Structures are given as C-alpha cells and as structure tokens.
Amino acid sequence: DAEITQSPRHKITETGRQVTLACHQTWNHNNMFWYRQDLGHGLRLIHYSYGVQDTNKGEVSDGYSVSRSNTEDLPLTLESAASSQTSVYFCASTPGGTGELFFGEGSRLTVL
C-alpha cells in the first residue's frame, strides 16, 4: 500500500547539532509539507514543496531547511538545533488542489 513514512520516530540531540528528519511518500504526490506541533499552537507550517526543486517557507521556517531532489522525499534539516525546536514534527503530502492531506506518523525531537 502507498504510504508516507517518517524517520526517525524519536530522536534526542544536543543544542548546536545538525539534525535531519526524513520523509518518504510512495503516492507520487507533488505537494509535500512539514508541520510542527506544539501544545497551544496546533500545527504550524515550516516548509513546503510543490514539486522537484521547488521549496517554500512557511510560517515558522527560521532555523529549518528542506530540499526536494525527487518526488518521493522531503527531508527537513535543522542546521543548528535549539531547545525551542523540541517538538513533534509531521510530514504530509497531497496530490494537489483541494485533495486530502495525508500525514506521516510524526517524529518526536528533543533538543537538550
């Protein structure tokens, strides 16, 4: 079955380290998104992509970057992790337009 997977599911890192969260979907969806979820803030958009080589900043993009070298993957990189980036990160994809947004299982990141 087609799906969207994230790895790692849990990670603990130290302040200042670079961290990459992987997102892989097998639906061949053009549109992919990264959200972070924090208590009291809901789901906030970090970065998104509408296709290969396309990336766009979302509401809370500072300190994060993404790259889209193929349709299936949108890795999220924290260049220098900060304690404020402790959160649950969700990757999501949709074929486009007003199609349903499908979420991955989430990655819980703790920055000490």
Partner 1 sequence: GENVEQHPSTLSVQEGDSAVIKCTYSDSASNYFPWYKQELGKRPQLIIDIRSNVGEKKDQRIAVTLNKTAKHFSLHITETQPEDSAVYFCAARNSGNTPLVFGKGTRLSVIA
The answer to whether 22 contacts partner 1 (rule: CB under 8 A) is no
CA distances for 40 relative to 23, 25, 88, 98, 106, angstroms = 25, 29, 13, 26, 18
Cis check for the bond before 75: say yes or no (omega within 30 of 0). Answer: no
Site string for partner 1, 39-78 (x = CB under 8 A): -xxxxxx--x-x-------x--------------------
The answer to whether 106 contacts partner 1 (rule: CB under 8 A) is yes
Which of 78/92 has CB closer to partner 1? 92
Q: How many CA atoms lie within 13 A of 65 on its CB side?
A: 7
The answer to whether 27 contacts partner 1 (rule: CB under 8 A) is no
Q: Which residues are paired to 23 by β-bridges?
A: 6
- Write out the residues near partner 1 by the rule CB under 8 A: 31, 33, 35, 40-45, 48, 50, 58, 90, 96-98, 100-101, 103-106
